């Protein structure tokens, strides 16, 4: 039996003879039906947006440019580019404790044995520890690190995690400088891959590999970008499909607007952007589906606000969507179980300070929906990817805005 509403009772309770009903009653009846249908369908499209944490710019950090990692207990992990006790950035953990979100952080020291200013996020490695990279620190060129939780249970909001520096880029062992926004990636052997924006043979960036060895961890060059061919100055990390490495170069390539590349004994272009309908200047790391197809975004081109695209492993390109409601997508996309895509725009929405979007896969193509438009007070300019939990809740960061202007961690409940 269907549940009744006041509109339901009002319609069923009428006993007029419609053949003799004045036109005003017919219009009223149509209005009641419209309201009944409209109100009963509203909850299906409603979204609840919640700010979980406002960064103060002090010990907790400021400017979270990366997305979040989730553990099985529902705790959230991320980085801030600046702030912390020494001003060099943080790794933070948000945990729901007695109905409130508390924070545990690691503050970078920017010493020769430490990094600074992480723009990439953290990910869980095969051993369950957190891994990430900093854009500066060590010898001044960037570093790869791991973090493990305290040996004893945490009883306060601020608990120290123990850091291990795995490698410091250039020198020793790897030629590169300025690690980008992309998260580190692991291959099947447990080796870690990351990219740099500068240096290398052509001075436009490199791919490097860090792997465990008898002496600890060893850094090995994985190839230098070539501006005129594979592109360069990539801000994105690599994506592994099996053990095959793919990625995007933000600039350069045949037309100068960036590429999708593959690493096979060198870095080779799969597709070169032309700054037309296809887009230009890709920044976000790629994701892949079960068939090995690659998905990503561009900051420019298309209808002016960038694009969402698909590239096959053989280099066939398909445009999925062009942004018209603002643009500048810098965070990686993410899939849900139904195959829909989620992402962020740094300058989307009515206020042009960012939005969270969904692209729904339908037989006629991809349909765009804005899940939240930022206003500034609730966050602004999201850079990082959207993360999803098992219940379909969305989590992410905004690099600016919030109560103190230094960014937020947010949640959207469908």
Instruction: Tell me whether residue 3 is in a domain.
Output: yes
52 and 11 together in one domain: no
Instruction: Tell me whether residue 345 is in a domain.
Output: yes
Instruction: Tell me whether residue 304 is in a domain.
Output: no
pLDDT at position 412 is 98
Question: What is the torsional sign of CA 344, 347, 348, 353?
Answer: positive
List the structure tokens of 133.
């990279």
Give the CA distances from residue 304 to residues 132, 219, 258, 344, in Å, rounded to whole numbers and listed in that order: 33, 40, 16, 16
- Is the pLDDT at 108 greater than 60? The verdict is yes
Instruction: Tell me whether residue 408 is in a domain.
Output: yes
56 and 22 together in one domain: no
pLDDT at position 330 is 87
Contact in structure between 145 and 125 (CB atoms under 8 Å): no
Average pLDDT over residues 2-23: 36
- Please state, in angstroms and rounded to a whole number, the distance separating the CA atoms of residues 49 and 204: 40
- Is the pLDDT at 399 greater than 90? The verdict is yes
- Please state, in angstroms and rounded to a whole number, the distance separating the CA atoms of residues 107 and 227: 36
Question: What's the structural domain count of the chain?
Answer: 2
**Residue 221, CB half-sphere, CA atoms under 13 Å: how many?**
19
List the structure tokens of 377.
């007070």
Contact in structure between 120 and 182 (CB atoms under 8 Å): yes
How many residues can be counted in the chain?
414
350 and 337 together in one domain: yes
% pLDDT > 70, the chain: 82
14 vs 131: which has the higher pLDDT: 131
List the structure tokens of 68.
């979040």
- Taking only Cα atoms into account, the Rg of the chain, rounded to an integer number of angstroms, comes to 24
Instruction: Tell me whether residue 100 is in a domain.
Output: no
Give the CA distances from residue 68 to residues 65, 76, 361, 389, 397, in Å, rounded to whole numbers and listed in that order: 10, 6, 24, 11, 7
**Residue 113, CB half-sphere, CA atoms under 13 Å: how many?**
3
405 vs 201: which has the higher pLDDT: 405
pLDDT at position 23 is 44
Q: What is the pLDDT of residues 44-94, one digit of tens each?
A: 356 899 999 999 999 999 999 999 999 998 999 999 999 998 899 999 999
274 vs 348: which has the higher pLDDT: 274
Question: What is the torsional sign of CA 37, 41, 43, 46?
Answer: negative
Q: Which domain holds residue 13?
A: 1-45
- Is the pLDDT at 8 greater than 60? The verdict is no
pLDDT at position 24 is 42
Q: What is the pLDDT of residues 383-395, one digit of tens each?
A: 999 999 999 999 9
Instruction: Tell me whether residue 383 is in a domain.
Output: yes
52 and 3 together in one domain: no
22 and 59 together in one domain: no
- Is the pLDDT at 239 greater than 90? The verdict is yes
Residue 383 CA to chain centroid, in angstroms?
Answer: 7
* Angle at alpha carbon of residue 189, lines to 81 and 187, rounded to 5°: 45
28 and 53 together in one domain: no
- Please state, in angstroms and rounded to a whole number, the distance separating the CA atoms of residues 244 and 65: 27
Please count the other Cβ atoms lying within 10 Å of the Cβ belonging to residue 124: 15
% pLDDT > 90, the chain: 62
Instruction: Tell me whether residue 224 is in a domain.
Output: no
Instruction: Tell me whether residue 53 is in a domain.
Output: yes
Q: What is the pLDDT of residues 246-288, one digit of tens each?
A: 999 999 999 999 999 999 999 999 999 999 999 999 999 999 9
- Is the pLDDT at 377 greater than 60? The verdict is yes
* Among the listed residues 381, 256, 276, 249, the one whose alpha carbon sits nearest the alpha carbon of residue 327: 381
17 and 54 together in one domain: no
The average confidence (pLDDT) of the chain is: 85
């Amino acid at each position: 039996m269907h549940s009744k509403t006041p509109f339901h009772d009002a319609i069923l309770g009428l006993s007029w003879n419609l053949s003799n009903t004045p036109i005003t009653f017919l219009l009223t009846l149509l209005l009641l039906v419209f309201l009944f249908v409209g109100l009963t369908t509203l909850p299906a499209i409603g979204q609840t947006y919640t700010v979980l944490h406002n960064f103060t710019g002090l010990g907790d950090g400021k400017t979270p440019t990366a997305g979040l990692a989730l553990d099985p207990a529902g705790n959230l992990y991320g980085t801030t580019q600046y702030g912390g006790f020494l001003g060099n950035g943080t790794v933070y953990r948000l945990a729901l404790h007695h109905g409130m979100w508390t924070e545990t952080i690691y503050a970078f020291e920017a010493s020769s044995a430490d990094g600074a200013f992480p723009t990439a996020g953290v990910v869980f490695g095969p051993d369950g520890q957190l891994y990430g990279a900093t854009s500066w620190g060590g010898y001044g060129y960037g570093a790869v690190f791991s973090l493990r939780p305290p040996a004893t249970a945490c009883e306060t909001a601020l608990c120290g995690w123990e850091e291990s520096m795995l490698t410091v880029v250039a020198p020793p062992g790897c030629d590169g400088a300025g690690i980008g926004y992309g998260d580190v990636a692991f291959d099947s052997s447990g080796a870690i891959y990351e990219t740099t924006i500068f240096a290398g043979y052509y001075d436009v960036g490199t791919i490097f590999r860090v792997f465990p060895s008898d002496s600890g961890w060893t850094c090995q060059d994985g190839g230098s970008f070539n501006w005129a061919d594979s592109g360069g100055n990539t801000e994105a990390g690599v994506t592994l499909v099996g053990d095959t490495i793919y990625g995007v170069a933000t600039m350069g390539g045949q037309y100068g607007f960036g590429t999708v590349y593959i690493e096979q004994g060198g870095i080779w272009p799969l597709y070169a952007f032309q700054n037309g309908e296809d887009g230009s200047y890709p920044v976000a790391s790629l994701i892949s589906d079960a068939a090995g197809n690659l998905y990503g975004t561009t900051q420019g081109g298309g209808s002016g606000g960038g694009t969402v695209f698909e590239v096959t492993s053989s280099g066939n390109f398909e445009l999925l969507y062009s942004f018209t409601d603002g643009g500048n997508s810098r965070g990686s996309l993410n899939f849900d179980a139904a195959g829909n895509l989620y992402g962020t725009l740094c300058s989307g929405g009515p206020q042009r300070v960012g939005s969270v979007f969904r692209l729904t896969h339908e037989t006629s193509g991809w349909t765009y929906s804005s899940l939240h438009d930022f206003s500034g007070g609730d966050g602004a300019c999201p850079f990082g990817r959207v993360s999803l939990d098992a219940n379909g809740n969305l989590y992410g960061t905004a690099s600016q805005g919030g109560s103190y202007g230094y960014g937020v961690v947010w949640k959207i409940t469908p």
